[in-house]
Amino acid sequence: MKNITFHINNEAYTVDIGEDPEDKLKNGLQKFLTTEKNLSTAELLLAYLRKSQELVNFEAEINEEIEKLPSLEDLKIL
């Protein structure tokens, strides 16, 4: 199990992020949230919004690719 500690409003929050052998989750969290300095609530909210926007954009890209795939009806014709 891995732990990661964030300092928010001068309080330490240690979170167990479970198994993360290649540090993918840890690195993903640290992309928007630093563990090196104290964060304000506003910075925490901003990180949440940035990550949400990243996921929304990713979902849109996936949906665009799905739209390019043939439908089941199209496949039956082949």
pTM of this prediction exceeds 0.85 = no
Kindly state the helix (H) or strand (E) to which residue 29 belongs, with its residue range: helix 24-32
pLDDT digits (tens, 9 = 90+) for 27-73: 988 899 999 999 999 999 999 999 999 999 999 999 999 999 988 88
Q: How far apart are the C-alpha atoms of 23 and 78, rounded to whole Å? A: 44
Whether the predicted pLDDT of 18 surpasses 90: yes
Longest dimension (CA), the chain: 64
Q: Looking at residue 36, what DSSP letter applies? A: S
